[in-house]
Structure 1
Amino acid sequence: MGARGKVSHGALLLVLLDLTNYAWFLPSPHRVSIKSVNMRHVLKWRPPQAACNATVLYSVQFQGEFELRILNGRWVDAPECQQIPHTHCDLTFDLGSDSDYNIHVRAQCGSQVSPWAQLSRPFNRRNTLLTAPEMTVTAEGDALRVSFDNLPLTAGVSVTVWKRGEELQAASYVLPAQQSVLQVAALQDGAQYCVRAHTQMDTQLRSSSTDTHCVTITGPVPDPVWNWPITVTVTVCAMAGFLFVVFWSVAHCNPEACQAYFHKDPLPRLLQPGLQIQILKIPEEAELCEPIHAVEPSDRQPAAEPAEKTIDKSSVADGRIKLLLTSDFTE
């Protein structure tokens, strides 16, 4: 048992040594540092001092307060910095809180992977270096326009404006993050105004101030006196030219082209000339009459009672009216 145990222990040790040489043969990157200017954080390092027949690829991980307390000390891969051939990595959007971050990087050459090389001390984005903003000042009528370029994502800008010679009465303006233009209106015509600005993140972190820029307010630009007459003249000439082109086109238009462009709809059939209209006449019906026979009374008969005449208006059929007259003579 003792001999067999020694052999097994020795074999295991050889396997571990072989795996160690296989896994950690490639040296780690060195001189790992981070440069943060205007809230842009870039990690840099030097490649490992060893020959590699393939392209050396690098991977970066970070660990902040959230990873330490919530994820039980887990290291998180930087999504944009995995298996990259460059010796730098932009971590601006990965280091998104004001906590301390541990960062490390390792190299890989083929199947060989180096140990992790860690940043010498934790990094906090509040230690970023804020530089003076790029400022442009222009006068627009009686207003002052101040614009900025390449501002940090989460930093604001403090702007100071004063009338030349009255710096003690300067007015201060604060531009929030993501706003890069300031407009100051209703300034004195002919006066000279000066501007100075700096970026800031909180009361403790701020950049140096820009150089002082001064411009002269020229006042509102009046409308030119000749503007109205020229507008009227141009409008009249344009209308005259348009009418001339229309009338000339109509006067010199080719008949075939005119018929093609100015097509007339045909007249309705009832309005076309030569149409014969037949009017149907309904023949008049002859008046129907019925003879009435009257019997004269004899001399021996007493005077007859007044005749009783009854007029019976019967049905109306086919537009005819029949009138029945009945005379009854009673003794």
Structure 2
Amino acid sequence: MTSLLLGAALLGNLGISVTAQVILPRPSQVRFDSVDYKNILNWTPPTTNSSLQYNVQWKIYGEPEWIDVPGCQKIRKHHCDLSDMTSEPREWYYARVGAVSVATSSKSAWALSPRFSPRWDTKISPPVLRLNVTEQPAIVVRVKPPRDLVRKLHSNLYYKIYLTHPSGEEEVFDMKCCSHKLTLKDLNHREEYCLQAQIVLPLQGKHSARSSLKCVTTL
């Protein structure tokens, strides 16, 4: 202890200041939020200091090398889009975030995300339902799914159409993805029918919530 005090005093006499290196706390709550295979990494900043910047890296599970995410180096925002890097549904991924202080150049340790699977962790948005009534009487059903989902998995999804009759009975129809329309016939005149649609991904064992209920009255 005496030698340490003497050393510090000697450095002080020589005009040399000794400054302890400041280590930033790491970001917290690092996680992927994925909807329709748009995979966004989010995190909570370690402090309220507005001078912090962030660096983001990613890797495939089992691979040793971490890779910088283009467009997510020295950023001030608290999220980063990793959809292009994590585009293979069958792979598992990790990401990590480090904070850097512009004012002091101090750095945090890396904060690691939980392991992420696009196939199992993404949430599927409900489709948009469009209805037209014709004179038969019939209802023409058109379904508009999320664009990103169709672009990625159009051959592996279909729709369930739920038709609620005036009696309260529910009837279910299957509709292929990207079909132009589904026509529901043999309906009663001047009766109200209500419909919902749902996206189904059978290979993933996933489905969306039902769309909002839409009701129409036949002619």
TM-score by length of 2: 0.67
**Contact in 1 for aligned 2:57/2:95 (Cα 8 Å):** yes
2:116 alignment partner, one of 104, 111, 123: 123
Give the drift of 1:184.
Answer: 2.6
Cα deviation per residue 1:8-34 (whole Å; 9 max; x = unaligned)? Answer: xxxxxxxxxx9x93xx73332222222
**Contact in 1 for aligned 2:31/2:43 (Cα 8 Å):** yes
The structure richer in helix per residue is 1
Aligned to 1:198: 198
Give the drift of 1:87.
Answer: 0.8
- Which has the larger Rg? 1
| Match runs of 1:4-15 below 5 Å | none
2:40 alignment partner, one of 28, 39, 42: 42
Aligned to 1:113: 107
**Contact in 2 for aligned 1:26/1:50 (Cα 8 Å):** no
TM-score by length of 1: 0.47
1:88 alignment partner, one of 79, 82, 94: 79
* Equivalent residues, number: 186
**Contact in 1 for aligned 2:159/2:197 (Cα 8 Å):** yes
Runs of 5+ consecutive residues of structure 2 not aligned to the other structure: 1-17
Cα deviation per residue 1:191-250 (whole Å; 9 max; x = unaligned)? Answer: 5665332122334111222355443454xxxxxxxxxxxxxxxxxxxxxxxxxxxxxxxx
Given residue 140 of structure 2, which amino acid in structure 1 is its aligned partner? L
- For 2:171 and 2:44, the matched residues in 1 are separated by 53
- For 1:41 and 1:157, the matched residues in 2 are separated by 22
Give the drift of 1:116.
Answer: 0.9
The structure richer in strand per residue is 2
Report percent identity of matched pairs.
23
- For 1:105 and 1:124, the matched residues in 2 are separated by 18
**Contact in 1 for aligned 2:126/2:145 (Cα 8 Å):** no
Aligned to 1:172: 174
**Contact in 2 for aligned 1:29/1:46 (Cα 8 Å):** yes
Q: SS at 1:113's partner residue?
A: coil
Give the drift of 1:152.
Answer: 4.8
Give the drift of 1:82.
Answer: 1.9
Aligned to 1:145: 141
Aligned to 1:103: 95
Runs of 5+ consecutive residues of structure 1 not aligned to the other structure: 1-17, 219-331
- For 2:128 and 2:184, the matched residues in 1 are separated by 25
Check if 1:29 corresponds to 2:30: no
Check if 1:57 corresponds to 2:49: no
